[in-house]
Structure 1
Amino acid sequence: MFGYRGLTMAEDGMLKISDVRCDYLVKKYGTPLYVMNEEEILERIRDIKQNHILKYNGVAAYASKAFLNKEMCRIIKREGLWLDVVSGGELYTAKSVDFPMENVIFHGNNKTYEELSMAVEYGVGRIVIDNFNEIDILEDILKENKKTIDVQIRVTPGIDGHTHEFIRTGQVDSKFGFPMHDESALYAVKRILNSEGLNLRGVHAHIGSQLHQNNIYRLEVEILAKFVGDIKNLFGYEIDEINCGGGFGIFYNEEDKRLPISFFTDVIHEAVDEFFNKYNLKKPTVFIEPGRWIVGEAGVTLYKVGAIKDIKGVRKYVSVDGGMTDNIRTALYSAKYTAVVANKLNIDDKEVVTICGKCCESGDILIRDISLPKLEKGDILAVLSTGAYNYSMASNYNRIPRPPVVIVNNGKDRLIVKRETYDDILRNDI
């Protein structure tokens, strides 16, 4: 149904997610409710294993900022992927379930002394160095603890990914990484190579997020290969890893295409063969960091319809019991979503409405001008492709508790994050 794996319709027109009825989930857990389809997550991981790890002997690190909790860490651990973290909190979550620290990559453009100390103490597999300040901090920490650590250096390749400006990261004007248009990146390499505690293993770049073109990754590899060649020529040191980041696009609405991981990885590895051979370099181990691509389409958010306001000749607003507190992406960068009425899949007559949230904010709009069966109070609205950056970016704006997260697989459901209570909101108040 709708091209989504695991979404089916029961005989009475009710949406089922991995063979679990939505009305059952709503009755058991309430709304709003994040539902994650484990069947879809595991299939995506299998695709990565087959078309990157096994086929090319590559490394894949799940970008945990997309969706992270203890159960997701357990899944990634069990499936044998690496984990990409960007904060002490994400690192601590991984540690809490005994995730193998040697398979953790620590990112971030302003890692604190405390976070870097934690990373060194835990013995993470790679720290991606983003700026000179991090080199200074790490050298102090490593010297004090008499340790060494493997690092990759993040560079900005000057590539402008065709996506929203808030999720572009590879252009020259970026807060991430060492610029390549001047001598900054090469000077950073020199600093690292001269360090007693830092072992330079690789070069990292990330172009942006929600990308649907693959030729841009070919250009990224070409730039990285030339940079690795410059390092070899200038310093006599040959890097054995490149990290192409993630950003692989998924399906949100009719403007998007659903793309297999091979659409991206085949181009990346073909470019590696071409350009590393061109610059007389050994073939590196290629890292990728998919996050949204693994969990985005696995997520469905369920709401109950409340107030309906029909402004004649203008717009019909349908309010749900969630909104920008559980999905900020529409308000933040005009993200577009597909939705269905979970209890009316067998109804064809439709009308155009705008789905809005309950927050005291005019910008709390989830979906503008969507065609749906006539909505009534109590209907269940299912917004699709909400597995990435919805739970992760949820807030307590208006002091609204965050929803729970349920994971489903082949007719079974289990709670993995509890619903917040008002007491949870007050917990840190004094």
Structure 2
Amino acid sequence: MHHAQRRATAMSDALAREMLPADYPIIGMVDLDTLDELFRAAEAAFDSPSPVTHAVAAKAVTLVPMMRHLAELGAGCEVASPGELRMAQLAGFTPDRIVFDSPAKTRHDIDTALDLGVAMNLDNFTELSRIDEHLAAATPKGRIGVRINPQLGAGKIEEMSTATPTSKFGIPLRDEGSRQAIIDAYAARPWLNQIHVHSGSQGMALSSMAAGVRAVVDLVADIHATIGHQQITHIDIGGGLPVNFDSDAHTPSFADYRAALEAEVPELFDGTYGIITEFGRSLLAKSGTMLTRVESTKVVGGRPIAVCHAGAQVAARTIFMPNAWPLRVSVLDPTGEEREDDVCVQDVAGPCCFSGDIIAHQRALPLIREGDVIAIHDVGAYYFSNSFSYNALPRPAVYGYREKDGAVAWVTLRRQQTIDEVVAEAGGDVDSSW
């Protein structure tokens, strides 16, 4: 069954089971079959003589049960904070399958990562000097590399682009003296055995992503020419494969990206280097849907507006950057049947108390009625893990589902946050008496 059909069946089933809470009618849904299919597609696309680890970006999926499932599939995990590292450990990722990539590592972070033996990509020369301090009397248990910024320029979304000439990430490759400083750093440290580049992001062309990998593979050749032997064993090419948010099609595909890399950097797959990827959005987005009930409708200035419970608290990027991160929405009747009648231009508004909390702007949709259900698509990455506590709204429940014996089987991935938990998180459980 195609994932769109599974999703339609699951939405109707969720409504029939009354899974939308009456007091806060919004839930997240994750199609675990689609997630499995996409992970296997990534594995198939990157099949090669080189050992490949698909280290899923934890920031896109900070739901421990989902992370645990990915570990069981054979994925690795890329983490960028102590919290994500702890989640990865709890989910069952072994140290050799974890990559620690925080761009702001404290000495404590570095010591913890070194003691655990996870792989680590260093963002700057300050972090490198801190590693030197730690390793004065020790040898690292895990791989250590340096993140390189190839300085290729921005994609369509500059705020999300990671390889601009002035990006916050990594050591610049093209600044004066920088290339030689990187080569010297590797030559002086035999334990630097990995290198990292992450030039991909939403809105970035595959050719540009491949060019970033090309630049780093050429740098590796120069490092080895200087040293006189192979020291770097693994190349981490990052993630950032864009996602099509306009339809259910998974484009560009992992096979498309492999083809772009083969054309630009064929030696990447000749078995010389282990390969690490850090896919997040491209693995997860298509698996996720949000359902929310329409609380009320009105007409303002001639425009219909439907008010629901999905806004900035669950879709911050879409709310604050609507042109860069638009989401598809569908209108369902209370039974889950998709409505197609009385199409007109209207807004779908969220529950947050500011005027820009609009999940869909001036969208041609069936005229939305009170009690209808809004389905928000392609939200399996980031939307469930990047909650925003505006107006002290609780985090909604998230459920996973599968097709099983002709029916829909459900599992809880995260329970809904209670109001008591919201209050406690805001300091309500702290004795602040003087």
Q: Which secondary structure state, in structure 2, belongs to the residue aligned with residue 389 of structure 1?
A: coil
Counterpart of 1:414? 411
TM-score (norm. length: structure 2): 0.88
- Match status 1:360 vs 2:353: yes
Q: Which one of 185, 210, 218 corresponds to residue 191 of structure 1? A: 185
Letter in 1 for 2:381: A
Q: 2:365 aligns with which of 372, 377, 388?
A: 372
How far apart are 1:95 and its partner, in Å?
1.2
Equivalent AA in structure 1 for residue 76 of structure 2: W
**Aligned letter for 1:309?**
K
User: Which residue is 1:320 aligned to?
Assistant: 308
Partner residue, 2:220: 228
**Deviation at residue 55 of structure 1 after TM alignment:** 7.2
The Cα of 1:35 is off from its aligned counterpart by 0.7
Structure 1: runs of 5 or more not aligned: 10-14
The equivalent position to 2:127 in structure 1, one of 117, 134, 150, is: 134
Gaps of 5+ in 2: none
- Measure how far apart 1:255 and its partner are: 12
Give the alignment of 1:68-87 within 5 angstroms: 68-87=62-81
User: Is 1:101 aligned to residue 84 of structure 2?
Assistant: no
1:310 and 2:299 aligned = yes
Distance of aligned partners of 1:25 and 1:178 in 2 relative to their CA distance in 1, 3 Å threshold: farther
Compared CA separation, residues 223 and 301, structure 1 to 2 (3 A): same
Task: Map Cα deviations across residues 254-304 of structure 1 (whole Å, 9 max, x no partner).
Answer: 699723210001221343326899xxxx84233221110111011101111
The 2-side partners of 1:295 and 1:20 are apart by 22
Is 1:342 aligned with 2:342?
no
Assess if the C-alpha contact under 8 Å between 1:212 and 1:257 holds in 2: no
Deviations 1:205-260, CA, capped at 9 Å, x for gaps: 11131246322233123211221122123333432322221111112126997232
Aligned residues: 415
**What percentage of residue pairs aligned between the two structures are identical?**
23
Q: Is the 8 A contact 1:16 1:22 kept in 2?
A: no
Alignment correspondent of 1:423: 420
Give, as a single letter, the amino acid of the residue that structure 1 aligns with 2:415: K
Name which of 269, 272, 297 aligns with 2:286.
Answer: 297
Select 1:65's aligned residue among 43, 59, 62: 59
AA paired with 2:315? N
2:36 matched to which residue of 1?
42
8 Å contact from structure 2 (residues 35, 284) kept in 1: yes
- CA drift of 1:374 comes to 1.8
1:337 offset after TM fit, Å?
0.9
Secondary structure of 2:168 counterpart: coil
Residue 376 and residue 346 in structure 1: after superposition, are their counterparts in 2 closer, same or farther (change >3 A)?
closer
**Would you say the 8 A contact 1:6–1:39 is kept in 2?**
no
- Code of the aligned partner of 2:306: V
- 2:330 is equivalent to residue 332 of structure 1: no
TM-superposed CA distance for 1:60, in Å, is 1.6
Aligned residue number for residue 198 of structure 2: 206
The reply on whether 1:286 has 2:275 as its aligned counterpart is yes
Q: What pairs with 1:153-172 in structure 2 (closer than 5 Å)?
A: 153-172=146-165
Aligned to 1:16: 9
Q: Specify whether residues 174 and 25 from structure 1 end up closer, same or farther in structure 2 by C-alpha distance, changes over 3 A only.
A: farther
Matched to 2:317, the amino acid is R
Q: CA deviation at 1:139?
A: 2.6
Give the whole-Å Cα distance in 2 for the aligned partners of 1:152 and 1:19: 48
- Offset at 1:341? 1.4
Distance 2:241 2:86 in 1: 26
Q: Which amino acid aligns with 1:264?
A: Y
Q: In the alignment, what sits opposite 1:176?
A: 169
Residues 216-225 or 341-350, more deviating: 341-350
Q: Which amino acid aligns with 2:330?
A: V
Quote the Cα distance in structure 2 between the aligned partners of 1:183 and 1:139. 21
CA distance in 2, matches of 1:212, 1:179: 19
